[in-house]
Amino acid sequence: MAIVHRERALEAPGEVALRDDRVELSWRDVDRTVNRIANALRDSGPGPERRVAVFARNSAETVLAHAGIIHAGCSPVPVSFHLTAPELAYILEDSHATVLFVGPETAAVGAEAARLAGVPLVVGWRCDTGAVTPWTGWLAAASDDDPPSDVPALPFLSYTSGTTGTPKGVNALAGSPVPGTTVDAYVRSMRSLPLAQWPGHLVVGPLHHTGPLAGVRLVACGMPVTVLERFDAESVLAAVDRYRIATSLMVPTHFHRLLSLPDEVRDRYDVGSLKLVTHTGAACPRDVKQAMIDWFGPVLFDSYGGSESGPLCGISSADWLRRPGSVGQVRPPFVRAVAVDADGNELPAGAEGRLAFEERDGRSVAYLNAAQKTSDALVRPGLFTLGDVGYVDDEGFVFITDRETDMIISGGVNIYPAEIENVLVTHPGVADAAVIGVPDPDMGESVHALVVPRERTPDVADLVEHCRASLAGYKVPRSIEFRDDLGRSTMGKLTKRVLRAPYWPQR
């Protein structure tokens, strides 16, 4: 049984299964290529941990590489294509990867990283770097017969974004195969994914992030997928219209860019085929989400989680309209969410604290080669946290108010930046904002705002008064700095550690 189900290759061999900006591949093409990748990996001897890294921009080959790794009974290690050679080498060494896939844009950096880390095999598509084994020749030498599908399936090993320190490898609790699950059973289980209920998925985010990697799982379970190399607002609308896309996964930054298109461009494309648009990453401002619901219809589904956990909570458009700001209720395999205090005691409904979650089998998040970080995530046996602050209402709906590690302590008082940021971005002159703590000789830390203006730079005094109207005095920024950009990641997240670093040289 192939990872792209044999029935799809037999029933509709010529139907388009996978397309990118360059090529369209049929189910027959995909089936044969995935088999060749899996067989070539098995022949190469991928090492005891069986980890294979992918360091490439979005393409059909990127999807196929991940699918072939799964089919070989190996563990895919998706890596951000933004990394430098030393950064990539760190992940290759930490994960014990023995094979690295690269694309034309990443071949040179990938080859250097593999040299630094001692990775023996680098395979690349559409590139002529001498240290890279050509994809076409590597595949041609392998069999396209079905490899065994009764071998154990291994989980993706994703690396945390590093917003709170050195990236750590994690196997997400949700979406990972239960130990002992075969490749065949794992692939069949993907059919229950919400995104797998309608044919026609559009990948718009980088395939090294957990969310966009749903595209790999969808191809694996027989659902056609279109991959964009990079996000472009009008290109997204054009793809939805042309290919009658039913599902996609986006982040709030994508929504901002879509909503910024002129009306005449937006009106040019039909988005009526959309059935489900999951969004994740950073919190979505209420006005932005409302505008997207007004445009796309009630098809938005907010998914909250992390690389460590996979999706923890989710909320439909209908529920969100009744509870604006919530990220929803826990989703299987998670069974409970609760807020806890600094000592791990559970708090009543509506009380703010560290958010903690319980998985149905009592599993907790685990970080590769990082025992202390794993321990820090455990509130107590069976209950873990990702470090976010918020509350749970009396019906189990979760609300995120901030990330604990971003907290500012000024004069002994805890200040959560997200509350201030949410006020700043409601000012008509503010396009984006980040709030951090900077050194203060008297208070320890003071509140400092980094602001990206919309067009004209707003008056500092006006911004202060705007904040004072909604916030307690101790939360109002003591200083404001204007910037052209805050360096958000491709998933819309801010790296507060990087933003703080210039102000804390001794740290």
Average pLDDT over residues 264-279: 97
Q: How large is the average pLDDT for residues 185-194?
A: 89
Q: Is the pLDDT of residue 4 over 60?
A: no
Residue 108, pLDDT score? 96
What range defines the domain where residue 90 resides? 27-174
Residue 451 lies in a domain: yes
- pTM (two decimals): 0.83
pLDDT category of residue 404 using cuts at 50, 70 and 90: low
Task: Please check whether residue 119 lies inside any domain of the structure.
Answer: yes
The CA distances from residue 288 to 14, 261, 291, 471, 486, in Å, are 40, 14, 5, 22, 19
Q: Which two tokens stand for residue 429?
A: 């002159």
Structure-block tokens of residue 96: 């014990």
Say if 9 falls within a structural domain.
Answer: no
Is 227 within the bounds of a domain?
no
Measure the N-to-C terminal CA separation of the chain; round to a whole number of Å. 54
For residue 164, the model assigns a pLDDT of 43
Predicted confidence (pLDDT) at residue 478 exceeds the cutoff of 90: yes
Indicate the helix (H) or strand (E) that contains 389: strand 388-392
Pair (355, 383) in one structural domain: yes
Task: Pick the closest to residue 496 from 422, 420, 437, 455 (CA basis).
Answer: 437
Claim to verify: residue 163 and residue 50 sit in the same structural domain: yes
pLDDT digits (tens, 9 = 90+) for 220-266: 989 999 999 999 999 999 999 999 999 999 988 899 889 999 999 99
Centre a 10 Å sphere on the Cβ of residue 502 and count the other Cβ atoms it contains.
8
Average of per-residue pLDDT across 348-370: 93
Kindly state whether residues 371 and 418 are assigned to the same domain: no
Judged against a pLDDT cut of 60, whether residue 163 lies above it is answered with no
Beta-strand ranges (E) seen in 90-199 are 99-102, 121-124, 133-134, 158-159, 169-170
Distance CA 321, CA 272 (A): 20
Q: Is pLDDT of 43 > 50? A: yes
443 with 342, same domain? no
Q: What is the CATH number of the domain that holds 497?
A: 3.30.300.30
Distances (CA, A) of 88 to 84, 92, 107, 504: 6, 6, 12, 26
CATH number, position 355? 2.30.38.10
Q: Are residues 65 and 141 in the same domain?
A: yes
User: pLDDT at residue 71 above 90?
Assistant: yes
Question: Do 62 and 98 fall within a single domain?
Answer: yes
The band of 201, judged by pLDDT with boundaries at 50, 70 and 90, is: very high
**Do both 337 and 377 map to the same domain?**
yes
Final residue belonging to a domain, choices 123, 148, 174: 174
- With beta carbons less than 8 A apart as the criterion, state whether 479 and 448 touch: yes
From 141, 174, 207, give the residue that closes a domain.
174
CB 86 within 8 A of CB 116: yes
Query: Which pLDDT value is given to residue 442?
Result: 72
Q: Is the pLDDT of residue 54 over 80?
A: yes
Q: What percent of the chain has pLDDT over 70?
A: 95
Higher pLDDT, 485 or 1: 485
Pairing of strands 300-306, 310-316: antiparallel
Does 480 lie in the same domain as 387? no
Per-residue pLDDT, 395: 96
d(CA 94, CA 335): 32
Return the pLDDT at 172. Answer: 87
pLDDT band for 133, please (50, 70, 90 cuts): very high
Cα–Cα dist 374/83, whole Å: 24
Q: Quick one: average pLDDT of 183-210?
A: 92
pLDDT, tens digit, 9 for 90 and up, residues 405-450: 677 878 656 787 888 998 899 999 999 999 999 988 777 789 999 9
CB 316 within 8 A of CB 298: yes
Say what the pLDDT of residue 161 is. Answer: 54
Reply yes or no on whether the pLDDT at 1 is more than 60.
Answer: no
Q: Indicate whether 10 pLDDT > 90.
A: no
Least confident residue range of 78-92, 112-126, 408-422: 408-422
Lowest model confidence (mean pLDDT) among 30-44, 129-143, 238-252, 364-378: 364-378
Instruction: Output 409-414 pairs: Cβ under 8 A, ≥24 positions apart.
Output: 409/437, 409/444, 409/445, 410/437, 410/440, 410/443, 410/444, 410/445, 410/446, 410/447, 410/474, 411/442, 411/443, 411/444, 411/474, 412/444, 413/474
Which residue in 335, 318, 313 sits closest to 276, CA to CA? 318
More confident residue, 490 or 142: 142
Task: Give the domain CATH number at 127.
Answer: 3.40.50.980
If asked whether residues 446 and 386 sit together in one domain, one would say no
Q: Is 142 domain-assigned?
A: yes
What is the separation of C-alpha 357 from the centre of its chain, rounded to a whole number of angstroms?
19
pLDDT for res 411: 66
**How many domains in the chain?**
3
Question: Is the predicted pLDDT of residue 488 greater than 80, yes or no?
Answer: yes
Residue in the structure block whose two tokens are 């069974």: 335
Residues 88 and 148 in one domain: yes
Return the pLDDT at 42. Answer: 94
Which pLDDT score is estimated for 60?
98
Mean pLDDT of the chain: 91
CB-CB contact of 475 with 407 (8 Å): no
Higher local confidence (pLDDT), 102 or 129: 102
State the average pLDDT over residues 44-60: 93
The H helix count followed by the E strand count for the chain is 17, 27
